[in-house]
Chain A
Amino acid sequence: MNLEGLNNFFQNNAIYIVMIIVLIVWIGIFLYMLTLDKRLKSIEKELIGDKNEK
Protein backbone atom coordinates (compact mmCIF):
# COMPACT_ATOMS: atom_id res chain seq x y z
CA MET A 1 0.00 0.00 0.00
CA ASN A 2 1.08 3.56 -0.70
CA LEU A 3 2.47 4.88 2.60
CA GLU A 4 2.24 8.52 1.61
CA GLY A 5 -1.38 8.15 0.65
CA LEU A 6 -2.10 6.52 3.99
CA ASN A 7 -0.31 9.32 5.81
CA ASN A 8 -2.29 11.91 3.92
CA PHE A 9 -5.50 10.07 4.69
CA PHE A 10 -4.74 10.12 8.44
CA GLN A 11 -3.74 13.75 8.33
CA ASN A 12 -6.85 14.89 6.51
CA ASN A 13 -9.24 12.82 8.61
CA ALA A 14 -7.60 13.11 12.03
CA ILE A 15 -10.77 14.45 13.66
CA TYR A 16 -12.80 11.45 12.44
CA ILE A 17 -10.20 9.07 13.82
CA VAL A 18 -10.48 10.84 17.18
CA MET A 19 -14.25 10.48 16.93
CA ILE A 20 -14.03 6.75 16.22
CA ILE A 21 -11.68 6.20 19.16
CA VAL A 22 -14.00 8.13 21.48
CA LEU A 23 -16.94 6.03 20.23
CA ILE A 24 -15.03 2.79 20.82
CA VAL A 25 -14.16 3.92 24.36
CA TRP A 26 -17.77 4.88 25.07
CA ILE A 27 -19.12 1.58 23.70
CA GLY A 28 -16.59 -0.27 25.84
CA ILE A 29 -17.61 1.61 29.00
CA PHE A 30 -21.28 1.11 28.22
CA LEU A 31 -20.97 -2.65 27.67
CA TYR A 32 -18.86 -2.97 30.80
CA MET A 33 -21.51 -1.14 32.84
CA LEU A 34 -24.26 -3.33 31.35
CA THR A 35 -22.52 -6.59 32.25
CA LEU A 36 -21.62 -5.29 35.73
CA ASP A 37 -25.23 -4.30 36.32
CA LYS A 38 -26.48 -7.73 35.19
CA ARG A 39 -24.01 -9.63 37.33
CA LEU A 40 -24.87 -7.49 40.35
CA LYS A 41 -28.56 -8.18 39.86
CA SER A 42 -28.01 -11.93 39.72
CA ILE A 43 -25.87 -11.87 42.89
CA GLU A 44 -28.49 -9.75 44.66
CA LYS A 45 -31.17 -12.27 43.69
CA GLU A 46 -29.05 -15.12 45.02
CA LEU A 47 -28.52 -13.36 48.34
CA ILE A 48 -32.25 -12.74 48.78
CA GLY A 49 -32.88 -16.40 47.96
CA ASP A 50 -30.38 -17.45 50.63
CA LYS A 51 -32.20 -15.42 53.26
CA ASN A 52 -35.54 -17.03 52.41
CA GLU A 53 -34.07 -20.51 52.76
CA LYS A 54 -32.86 -19.79 56.27
Chain B
Amino acid sequence: MSRILIRNARLIDPDSGLDSTGDIAIADGRIVALGEVSDFTPVQTIEADGQWAIPGLIDLAARTREPGATRKADIASEARAAASAGITTLVVPPDTQPVMDSPSVVELVHHRAEAAGAARVVALGALTTGLAGEQLPGMAGLAAAGCPGLSDGGYPVADSLVLRRALEYASTFALPCLLTPVDTALAQGCLNEGPTATRLGLAGVPAAAETAGLGRQMAIASATQARVHFGRLSSVEGVRLMTAALGEGRKLSADVAVHQLFLTDQDAMEFDPRFHLQPPLRDIIDREALRQAVSDGVIRIICSDHQPHDQDAKDGPFASTEPGASGIDTLLALVLRLVEEEVLSLHKALAAVTIEPAKLLGLESGRLAEGAPADITLVNPNAPWFCTNESLQSRGKNSPFLGWEFSARATHTLIAGRLVHQPTQ
Protein backbone atom coordinates (compact mmCIF):
# COMPACT_ATOMS: atom_id res chain seq x y z
CA MET B 1 0.00 0.00 0.00
CA SER B 2 1.41 3.34 -1.02
CA ARG B 3 2.56 5.97 1.41
CA ILE B 4 1.26 9.42 0.56
CA LEU B 5 2.10 12.80 2.05
CA ILE B 6 -0.24 15.74 1.57
CA ARG B 7 1.75 18.91 2.22
CA ASN B 8 0.71 22.35 3.30
CA ALA B 9 -3.02 22.01 3.06
CA ARG B 10 -5.56 23.86 5.15
CA LEU B 11 -6.71 20.95 7.32
CA ILE B 12 -10.39 21.23 8.18
CA ASP B 13 -12.01 18.64 10.40
CA PRO B 14 -15.51 19.39 11.68
CA ASP B 15 -15.38 16.54 14.20
CA SER B 16 -12.42 17.88 16.16
CA GLY B 17 -12.82 21.53 15.16
CA LEU B 18 -9.40 21.46 13.56
CA ASP B 19 -8.66 24.30 11.12
CA SER B 20 -4.98 24.92 10.51
CA THR B 21 -2.34 24.54 7.86
CA GLY B 22 -0.39 21.32 7.94
CA ASP B 23 0.42 17.96 6.41
CA ILE B 24 -1.26 14.58 6.36
CA ALA B 25 0.75 11.36 6.29
CA ILE B 26 -1.03 8.30 4.96
CA ALA B 27 0.10 4.69 5.15
CA ASP B 28 -1.74 1.38 4.87
CA GLY B 29 -4.97 3.14 4.04
CA ARG B 30 -5.07 5.21 7.20
CA ILE B 31 -4.02 8.61 8.45
CA VAL B 32 -0.85 8.05 10.47
CA ALA B 33 0.06 11.66 11.23
CA LEU B 34 -1.63 15.00 11.01
CA GLY B 35 -0.33 18.56 11.30
CA GLU B 36 3.45 18.79 11.66
CA VAL B 37 4.67 15.63 9.96
CA SER B 38 8.29 14.57 10.29
CA ASP B 39 10.06 11.20 9.96
CA PHE B 40 7.77 10.06 7.17
CA THR B 41 9.07 8.77 3.85
CA PRO B 42 6.34 9.05 1.28
CA VAL B 43 6.17 7.29 -2.05
CA GLN B 44 4.09 10.13 -3.38
CA THR B 45 3.78 13.73 -2.26
CA ILE B 46 0.87 15.99 -3.08
CA GLU B 47 1.68 19.68 -2.75
CA ALA B 48 -1.53 21.26 -1.57
CA ASP B 49 -0.69 24.92 -1.04
CA GLY B 50 -3.88 26.95 -1.04
CA GLN B 51 -6.02 23.82 -0.97
CA TRP B 52 -8.32 22.50 1.69
CA ALA B 53 -8.04 18.98 3.01
CA ILE B 54 -11.41 17.81 4.32
CA PRO B 55 -12.82 14.43 5.27
CA GLY B 56 -14.22 12.70 2.19
CA LEU B 57 -17.93 13.31 1.86
CA ILE B 58 -20.46 10.69 2.93
CA ASP B 59 -23.64 10.97 0.88
CA LEU B 60 -26.46 9.52 2.98
CA ALA B 61 -28.85 8.93 0.07
CA ALA B 62 -27.59 8.05 -3.39
CA ARG B 63 -29.03 5.57 -5.85
CA THR B 64 -26.66 3.78 -8.18
CA ARG B 65 -29.60 2.01 -9.89
CA GLU B 66 -27.77 -1.30 -9.71
CA PRO B 67 -29.07 -3.94 -9.53
CA GLY B 68 -32.25 -3.34 -11.47
CA ALA B 69 -32.14 -0.20 -13.56
CA THR B 70 -28.70 -0.14 -15.09
CA ARG B 71 -30.09 1.65 -18.15
CA LYS B 72 -30.05 4.72 -15.88
CA ALA B 73 -26.72 4.27 -14.10
CA ASP B 74 -24.63 1.59 -12.42
CA ILE B 75 -22.44 1.13 -9.41
CA ALA B 76 -19.18 1.66 -11.29
CA SER B 77 -20.34 4.84 -13.06
CA GLU B 78 -21.77 6.44 -9.94
CA ALA B 79 -18.91 5.39 -7.66
CA ARG B 80 -16.45 7.00 -10.08
CA ALA B 81 -18.60 10.11 -10.47
CA ALA B 82 -18.81 10.38 -6.69
CA ALA B 83 -15.06 10.12 -6.26
CA SER B 84 -14.47 12.82 -8.85
CA ALA B 85 -16.88 15.08 -6.94
CA GLY B 86 -15.15 14.57 -3.58
CA ILE B 87 -17.55 11.96 -2.21
CA THR B 88 -15.81 8.95 -0.69
CA THR B 89 -18.83 7.01 0.54
CA LEU B 90 -22.19 6.53 -1.14
CA VAL B 91 -24.87 5.22 1.17
CA VAL B 92 -27.36 3.45 -1.06
CA PRO B 93 -30.99 2.86 -0.08
CA PRO B 94 -32.39 -0.65 -0.51
CA ASP B 95 -34.87 0.23 -3.28
CA THR B 96 -32.97 -1.73 -5.90
CA GLN B 97 -34.41 -4.55 -8.00
CA PRO B 98 -34.13 -7.05 -6.38
CA VAL B 99 -34.53 -5.22 -3.10
CA MET B 100 -31.57 -5.32 -0.69
CA ASP B 101 -33.36 -7.52 1.82
CA SER B 102 -30.97 -10.46 1.80
CA PRO B 103 -27.23 -10.76 2.33
CA SER B 104 -26.74 -12.03 -1.23
CA VAL B 105 -27.95 -8.78 -2.83
CA VAL B 106 -25.95 -6.71 -0.36
CA GLU B 107 -22.84 -8.75 -1.10
CA LEU B 108 -23.37 -8.30 -4.83
CA VAL B 109 -23.53 -4.52 -4.39
CA HIS B 110 -20.44 -4.45 -2.19
CA HIS B 111 -18.50 -6.68 -4.62
CA ARG B 112 -19.39 -4.54 -7.63
CA ALA B 113 -18.33 -1.43 -5.71
CA GLU B 114 -15.02 -2.99 -4.76
CA ALA B 115 -14.40 -3.94 -8.37
CA ALA B 116 -15.12 -0.36 -9.44
CA GLY B 117 -12.34 0.81 -7.13
CA ALA B 118 -13.79 4.27 -6.60
CA ALA B 119 -16.05 5.60 -3.85
CA ARG B 120 -17.06 3.18 -1.14
CA VAL B 121 -20.63 1.98 -1.43
CA VAL B 122 -22.46 1.22 1.79
CA ALA B 123 -25.77 -0.56 1.41
CA LEU B 124 -28.72 0.06 3.71
CA GLY B 125 -30.73 -3.09 4.28
CA ALA B 126 -34.48 -3.18 3.68
CA LEU B 127 -36.61 -2.55 6.74
CA THR B 128 -39.20 -5.05 5.49
CA THR B 129 -38.92 -7.93 3.04
CA GLY B 130 -39.20 -6.64 -0.51
CA LEU B 131 -39.99 -3.22 1.03
CA ALA B 132 -43.56 -4.57 1.00
CA GLY B 133 -44.25 -3.60 4.60
CA GLU B 134 -45.36 -7.05 5.74
CA GLN B 135 -42.50 -9.30 6.87
CA LEU B 136 -39.17 -8.74 8.57
CA PRO B 137 -36.00 -9.56 6.66
CA GLY B 138 -33.12 -11.29 8.44
CA MET B 139 -31.77 -8.04 9.88
CA ALA B 140 -28.93 -9.65 11.79
CA GLY B 141 -27.89 -11.33 8.56
CA LEU B 142 -28.00 -7.98 6.73
CA ALA B 143 -25.87 -6.41 9.43
CA ALA B 144 -23.37 -9.26 9.15
CA ALA B 145 -23.23 -8.65 5.38
CA GLY B 146 -22.16 -5.07 6.05
CA CYS B 147 -25.36 -3.01 6.31
CA PRO B 148 -24.83 -0.32 8.97
CA GLY B 149 -28.53 0.47 9.07
CA LEU B 150 -31.94 -0.20 7.58
CA SER B 151 -34.23 1.90 5.46
CA ASP B 152 -37.74 1.86 4.06
CA GLY B 153 -36.17 2.95 0.76
CA GLY B 154 -38.84 5.54 0.07
CA TYR B 155 -41.70 3.11 0.71
CA PRO B 156 -43.05 3.97 4.16
CA VAL B 157 -44.32 0.95 6.09
CA ALA B 158 -48.08 1.48 6.01
CA ASP B 159 -49.01 -1.05 8.69
CA SER B 160 -48.19 0.63 11.98
CA LEU B 161 -47.86 -2.68 13.84
CA VAL B 162 -45.38 -3.97 11.29
CA LEU B 163 -43.43 -0.70 11.53
CA ARG B 164 -43.34 -0.98 15.30
CA ARG B 165 -42.09 -4.55 15.17
CA ALA B 166 -39.53 -3.76 12.49
CA LEU B 167 -38.15 -0.93 14.63
CA GLU B 168 -38.13 -3.14 17.73
CA TYR B 169 -36.38 -5.97 15.96
CA ALA B 170 -33.83 -3.58 14.44
CA SER B 171 -33.14 -2.07 17.86
CA THR B 172 -32.25 -5.56 19.10
CA PHE B 173 -29.16 -5.36 16.90
CA ALA B 174 -28.61 -1.60 17.42
CA LEU B 175 -29.33 -0.92 13.75
CA PRO B 176 -30.44 2.65 13.01
CA CYS B 177 -33.63 2.89 10.94
CA LEU B 178 -33.91 5.50 8.20
CA LEU B 179 -37.54 6.28 7.51
CA THR B 180 -39.24 8.29 4.78
CA PRO B 181 -41.69 10.65 6.49
CA VAL B 182 -44.48 10.55 3.94
CA ASP B 183 -48.12 9.62 3.94
CA THR B 184 -48.18 8.07 0.49
CA ALA B 185 -51.92 8.50 -0.01
CA LEU B 186 -51.56 12.26 0.40
CA ALA B 187 -48.46 12.50 -1.76
CA GLN B 188 -50.10 11.93 -5.15
CA GLY B 189 -48.76 14.97 -6.98
CA CYS B 190 -45.60 16.45 -8.38
CA LEU B 191 -45.20 19.94 -6.92
CA ASN B 192 -45.87 21.73 -3.65
CA GLU B 193 -49.59 22.31 -3.16
CA GLY B 194 -49.88 26.06 -3.54
CA PRO B 195 -50.27 28.95 -5.96
CA THR B 196 -47.53 27.75 -8.32
CA ALA B 197 -48.97 24.26 -8.75
CA THR B 198 -52.43 25.77 -9.20
CA ARG B 199 -51.18 28.22 -11.82
CA LEU B 200 -49.42 25.42 -13.70
CA GLY B 201 -52.35 23.07 -13.39
CA LEU B 202 -50.25 20.44 -11.67
CA ALA B 203 -51.41 18.17 -8.87
CA GLY B 204 -50.09 19.51 -5.57
CA VAL B 205 -48.62 17.64 -2.62
CA PRO B 206 -49.64 19.25 0.67
CA ALA B 207 -47.21 19.64 3.54
CA ALA B 208 -49.64 17.35 5.36
CA ALA B 209 -48.24 14.49 3.30
CA GLU B 210 -45.02 15.02 5.24
CA THR B 211 -46.44 15.86 8.66
CA ALA B 212 -48.96 13.00 8.62
CA GLY B 213 -46.17 10.56 7.81
CA LEU B 214 -43.69 12.14 10.20
CA GLY B 215 -46.12 12.39 13.11
CA ARG B 216 -47.23 8.78 12.76
CA GLN B 217 -43.68 7.50 12.52
CA MET B 218 -42.56 9.61 15.49
CA ALA B 219 -45.42 8.21 17.57
CA ILE B 220 -44.53 4.64 16.66
CA ALA B 221 -40.82 5.24 17.21
CA SER B 222 -41.55 6.47 20.73
CA ALA B 223 -43.01 3.04 21.55
CA THR B 224 -39.66 1.44 20.71
CA GLN B 225 -36.00 1.87 21.59
CA ALA B 226 -34.99 2.18 17.95
CA ARG B 227 -32.61 4.84 16.69
CA VAL B 228 -34.81 6.53 14.08
CA HIS B 229 -33.75 8.96 11.38
CA PHE B 230 -36.08 10.80 9.01
CA GLY B 231 -34.95 11.27 5.44
CA ARG B 232 -35.59 14.25 3.17
CA LEU B 233 -37.59 16.78 5.17
CA SER B 234 -39.14 19.32 2.83
CA SER B 235 -41.57 21.59 4.66
CA VAL B 236 -41.69 24.23 7.36
CA GLU B 237 -44.37 22.15 9.09
CA GLY B 238 -42.08 19.12 9.08
CA VAL B 239 -39.30 21.22 10.56
CA ARG B 240 -41.67 22.37 13.31
CA LEU B 241 -42.55 18.80 14.27
CA MET B 242 -38.88 17.86 14.31
CA THR B 243 -37.96 20.91 16.40
CA ALA B 244 -40.64 20.06 18.95
CA ALA B 245 -39.54 16.42 19.18
CA LEU B 246 -35.90 17.39 19.70
CA GLY B 247 -37.02 19.93 22.29
CA GLU B 248 -38.55 17.06 24.26
CA GLY B 249 -35.19 15.35 24.21
CA ARG B 250 -36.18 12.66 21.73
CA LYS B 251 -33.26 10.83 20.17
CA LEU B 252 -34.22 11.44 16.55
CA SER B 253 -32.45 12.97 13.59
CA ALA B 254 -33.27 14.18 10.12
CA ASP B 255 -31.68 15.09 6.83
CA VAL B 256 -32.52 17.27 3.87
CA ALA B 257 -31.74 16.91 0.19
CA VAL B 258 -29.35 19.68 -0.76
CA HIS B 259 -31.54 20.82 -3.67
CA GLN B 260 -34.31 21.71 -1.20
CA LEU B 261 -31.96 24.35 0.25
CA PHE B 262 -31.62 26.12 -3.11
CA LEU B 263 -34.70 25.52 -5.22
CA THR B 264 -38.42 26.25 -4.88
CA ASP B 265 -41.56 25.37 -6.80
CA GLN B 266 -41.00 28.58 -8.81
CA ASP B 267 -38.14 26.80 -10.56
CA ALA B 268 -40.69 24.50 -12.18
CA MET B 269 -42.55 27.38 -13.85
CA GLU B 270 -41.42 26.23 -17.28
CA PHE B 271 -42.54 22.64 -16.72
CA ASP B 272 -38.94 21.45 -16.81
CA PRO B 273 -39.04 17.82 -15.60
CA ARG B 274 -35.62 18.22 -13.97
CA PHE B 275 -37.53 19.96 -11.20
CA HIS B 276 -39.95 17.07 -10.73
CA LEU B 277 -38.77 15.77 -7.37
CA GLN B 278 -40.06 13.73 -4.46
CA PRO B 279 -40.70 15.19 -1.95
CA PRO B 280 -41.63 18.01 -4.29
CA LEU B 281 -40.05 21.43 -4.45
CA ARG B 282 -41.91 23.67 -2.07
CA ASP B 283 -42.41 27.32 -1.26
CA ILE B 284 -39.64 29.79 -0.49
CA ILE B 285 -40.91 29.85 3.12
CA ASP B 286 -40.16 26.13 3.30
CA ARG B 287 -36.73 26.61 1.78
CA GLU B 288 -35.85 29.29 4.33
CA ALA B 289 -37.17 27.14 7.20
CA LEU B 290 -35.04 24.22 6.00
CA ARG B 291 -31.96 26.46 5.82
CA GLN B 292 -32.69 27.71 9.33
CA ALA B 293 -33.18 24.14 10.56
CA VAL B 294 -29.76 23.11 9.25
CA SER B 295 -28.24 26.16 10.84
CA ASP B 296 -29.98 25.44 14.18
CA GLY B 297 -28.97 21.78 14.16
CA VAL B 298 -32.57 20.52 13.87
CA ILE B 299 -31.46 18.96 10.59
CA ARG B 300 -27.92 17.67 10.95
CA ILE B 301 -27.32 15.87 7.68
CA ILE B 302 -27.38 17.08 4.07
CA CYS B 303 -27.49 14.52 1.27
CA SER B 304 -27.74 14.62 -2.51
CA ASP B 305 -30.75 12.27 -2.75
CA HIS B 306 -29.07 11.28 -5.99
CA GLN B 307 -31.51 9.72 -8.46
CA PRO B 308 -29.92 9.42 -11.88
CA HIS B 309 -32.37 8.94 -14.73
CA ASP B 310 -32.11 8.01 -18.38
CA GLN B 311 -33.37 10.56 -20.85
CA ASP B 312 -36.63 8.72 -21.50
CA ALA B 313 -37.57 8.91 -17.84
CA LYS B 314 -37.45 12.72 -17.95
CA ASP B 315 -38.84 13.10 -21.46
CA GLY B 316 -42.52 13.96 -21.28
CA PRO B 317 -45.09 16.18 -19.64
CA PHE B 318 -43.93 17.24 -16.16
CA ALA B 319 -46.36 15.11 -14.18
CA SER B 320 -45.75 11.90 -16.13
CA THR B 321 -41.96 12.00 -15.86
CA GLU B 322 -40.11 10.12 -13.12
CA PRO B 323 -39.26 12.20 -10.05
CA GLY B 324 -35.72 12.68 -8.80
CA ALA B 325 -32.55 14.62 -9.53
CA SER B 326 -29.00 13.62 -10.30
CA GLY B 327 -27.05 15.08 -7.41
CA ILE B 328 -23.64 13.65 -6.61
CA ASP B 329 -21.78 15.98 -8.99
CA THR B 330 -22.98 19.09 -7.17
CA LEU B 331 -23.23 18.02 -3.49
CA LEU B 332 -19.86 19.41 -2.38
CA ALA B 333 -20.17 22.60 -4.45
CA LEU B 334 -23.67 23.31 -3.12
CA VAL B 335 -22.73 22.65 0.49
CA LEU B 336 -19.82 25.08 0.18
CA ARG B 337 -22.15 27.57 -1.46
CA LEU B 338 -24.22 27.52 1.73
CA VAL B 339 -21.09 28.79 3.45
CA GLU B 340 -20.61 31.52 0.84
CA GLU B 341 -24.23 32.54 1.30
CA GLU B 342 -23.59 32.67 5.06
CA VAL B 343 -26.26 30.11 5.85
CA LEU B 344 -23.78 27.85 7.62
CA SER B 345 -20.28 28.05 9.05
CA LEU B 346 -17.70 26.04 7.14
CA HIS B 347 -17.42 23.47 9.93
CA LYS B 348 -21.16 23.04 10.25
CA ALA B 349 -21.61 22.70 6.50
CA LEU B 350 -18.90 20.07 6.24
CA ALA B 351 -20.10 18.23 9.34
CA ALA B 352 -23.46 17.73 7.61
CA VAL B 353 -21.80 15.71 4.85
CA THR B 354 -19.03 13.99 6.84
CA ILE B 355 -19.08 13.31 10.56
CA GLU B 356 -22.85 13.55 11.07
CA PRO B 357 -23.77 10.78 8.61
CA ALA B 358 -20.76 8.80 9.90
CA LYS B 359 -22.06 9.02 13.46
CA LEU B 360 -25.59 8.04 12.45
CA LEU B 361 -24.37 4.86 10.79
CA GLY B 362 -21.39 4.18 13.03
CA LEU B 363 -18.88 4.54 10.20
CA GLU B 364 -15.20 5.00 10.98
CA SER B 365 -14.70 7.60 8.27
CA GLY B 366 -15.93 11.19 8.12
CA ARG B 367 -13.05 12.66 10.09
CA LEU B 368 -9.44 13.72 9.78
CA ALA B 369 -7.76 12.05 12.70
CA GLU B 370 -4.79 9.83 13.35
CA GLY B 371 -5.87 6.25 12.87
CA ALA B 372 -8.95 7.14 10.83
CA PRO B 373 -9.36 5.72 7.33
CA ALA B 374 -7.61 7.95 4.80
CA ASP B 375 -10.81 9.06 3.06
CA ILE B 376 -9.77 12.59 2.18
CA THR B 377 -10.87 15.20 -0.34
CA LEU B 378 -8.69 18.07 -1.45
CA VAL B 379 -10.67 21.12 -2.45
CA ASN B 380 -9.59 24.08 -4.50
CA PRO B 381 -11.84 26.83 -3.10
CA ASN B 382 -11.11 29.14 -6.04
CA ALA B 383 -11.67 27.03 -9.13
CA PRO B 384 -14.83 28.34 -10.78
CA TRP B 385 -16.73 25.91 -13.00
CA PHE B 386 -20.04 25.66 -14.74
CA CYS B 387 -22.33 22.71 -14.23
CA THR B 388 -23.10 21.43 -17.71
CA ASN B 389 -24.19 18.24 -19.36
CA GLU B 390 -20.52 17.58 -20.15
CA SER B 391 -19.25 18.38 -16.65
CA LEU B 392 -21.60 15.82 -15.09
CA GLN B 393 -19.73 12.61 -14.36
CA SER B 394 -22.84 10.74 -13.28
CA ARG B 395 -24.64 8.87 -16.01
CA GLY B 396 -27.75 10.72 -14.86
CA LYS B 397 -27.81 14.07 -16.63
CA ASN B 398 -30.99 15.18 -14.87
CA SER B 399 -29.35 17.82 -12.70
CA PRO B 400 -31.52 20.78 -11.71
CA PHE B 401 -28.34 22.85 -11.48
CA LEU B 402 -27.31 22.84 -15.14
CA GLY B 403 -25.99 26.29 -15.97
CA TRP B 404 -25.09 27.16 -12.38
CA GLU B 405 -21.61 28.43 -11.63
CA PHE B 406 -19.77 27.16 -8.60
CA SER B 407 -16.54 28.38 -7.04
CA ALA B 408 -15.10 25.27 -5.36
CA ARG B 409 -14.29 21.83 -6.65
CA ALA B 410 -12.62 18.63 -5.53
CA THR B 411 -9.18 18.26 -7.09
CA HIS B 412 -8.02 15.06 -5.40
CA THR B 413 -9.95 12.28 -3.71
CA LEU B 414 -8.32 9.61 -1.60
CA ILE B 415 -10.21 6.54 -0.49
CA ALA B 416 -8.57 4.22 2.01
CA GLY B 417 -5.29 5.92 1.18
CA ARG B 418 -5.65 5.34 -2.54
CA LEU B 419 -5.70 8.32 -4.89
CA VAL B 420 -8.80 7.65 -7.01
CA HIS B 421 -9.30 11.12 -8.44
CA GLN B 422 -6.72 13.74 -9.40
CA PRO B 423 -6.43 16.52 -11.95
CA THR B 424 -5.91 15.31 -15.51
CA GLN B 425 -2.56 16.56 -16.73
Q: Do A and B come from one complex?
A: no
Residues in chain A within 8 A of chain B (CB atoms): none
